[in-house]
Amino acid sequence: MERKFKERHYRLTLLFAAAMLLILATTPQGALSRLVLSLGGLGLGAVALEQRRLPALPGTLAPLLLGLPLALLLWLDPQRHGLWLWAWAAVLVLPQAPWLWLLHGLLAALCWWQVYPFVGTEQGLLMGGLLAALMLLGVARGLEELPLRQGLALRTRLLAQRPLHSRRQLAQDMLLETTRCTREGSHGELLLLRCPSRHQQAMLDALMARTCHYETCFQIDNKTLAALLISRNEETAVQRRAPLLDTLPEPFQARFIGLAPSLCLDAQLKALAQQEQVVAVQGREV
């Protein structure tokens, strides 16, 4: 719910910025400035409206569609648009990749250099110092949220081609599958897999290839995947383990836990993190 709330406000912010650019394009401007404002406003509005369909793009396109028109305006007519130099602080606050911070910092410095001759030495230096401080605050805020955004980006890439559910959904499905297995007499297991984050896509591909269509995969974090494995009986479950493990890319750690009403997900994740062996079956090292 909190994530949806933040996404809604972020989209509204982009739409507001797009509207401002389009309104500015209707004011008396040079032909080139009007073109830059119009294209920036239309592009930013399109990114905001298509955010759900293009989940990986707003973090790159939105800051660029603000930063590039801003740089062009200040470069074309620094005397007229000098006050817009302060907008660079707002650009740096937007969620963006680290390389965009460097690009926007460089563009902001070039824009300040363009405006500097028109404001005098003392005002120019003061303006540059204040702008640098504001931009550093924006970068500091972005660094705090960077791990979260990287995790969301990874999940977006994994979801692009594979059905993948959240940790919260896993907690709910564990209860449902435990009840179903008890009622139907089948055997259910929770499989936890831990691997380096750069191997998670390959791990998910291998896991999906060895699971049935009615079995669900989950992402716990950027290093941990999970799956609920349903077999006819315990003997069948044991027979499935070796072929599944043989197809997984190394390095990894795996933990098989039989579904039971007393099963605690947090405790098993902690046990996986402390596990020294490659594979453990309900606490029994393999």
Listing DSSP states for 100-123 in one string gives: HHHHHHHHHHHHHHHHGGGT-HHH
Q: Residue 256 pLDDT > 90, yes or no?
A: yes
Q: Residue 29 pLDDT > 80, yes or no?
A: no
Same domain? 186 vs 145: no
Same domain? 134 vs 174: no
Of 159, 186, 208, the last residue of a domain is: 159
Structure tokens at 224: 């941990």
Mean per-residue pLDDT for 19-30?
81
- Whether omega before 251 lies within 30 degrees of 0, making that bond cis, reads yes
Between 40 and 185, where is the model more confident? 185
270 touches 205 (CB < 8 A): no
Same domain? 152 vs 172: no
Of 159, 176, 206, the last residue of a domain is: 159
Specify the pLDDT at position 283: 45
Chain-wide mean pLDDT for the chain?
80
Structure tokens at 245: 């493990």
Lowest mean pLDDT among 108-117, 130-139, 157-166, 232-241: 157-166
Lowest mean pLDDT among 233-237, 272-276, 281-285: 281-285
259: containing domain: 167-285
Q: Residue 102 pLDDT > 60, yes or no?
A: yes
Which pLDDT band, with edges at 50, 70 and 90, does 51 fall under? low
Which pLDDT band, with edges at 50, 70 and 90, does 2 fall under? very low
Specify the pLDDT at position 285: 45
Q: In terms of Cα–Cα distance, which of 164, 167, 170, 173 is closest to 201?
A: 164
Same domain? 24 vs 134: yes
Of 106, 132, 159, the last residue of a domain is: 159
Distance separating alpha carbons of residues 150 and 147, to the nearest angstrom:
5
Same domain? 21 vs 121: yes
Number of domains in the chain: 2
Which pLDDT band, with edges at 50, 70 and 90, does 202 fall under? confident
Same domain? 264 vs 183: yes
Distance separating alpha carbons of residues 247 and 209, to the nearest angstrom:
9
Same domain? 108 vs 181: no
Tally Cβ neighbours within 10 Å of residue 13.
15
Listing DSSP states for 189-250 in one string gives: EEEEEE--GGGHHHHHHHHHHTS-TT--EEEEETTEEEEEEEESSHHHHHHHHHHHHHHSPS
Among residues of the chain, what percentage have pLDDT more than 90?
8
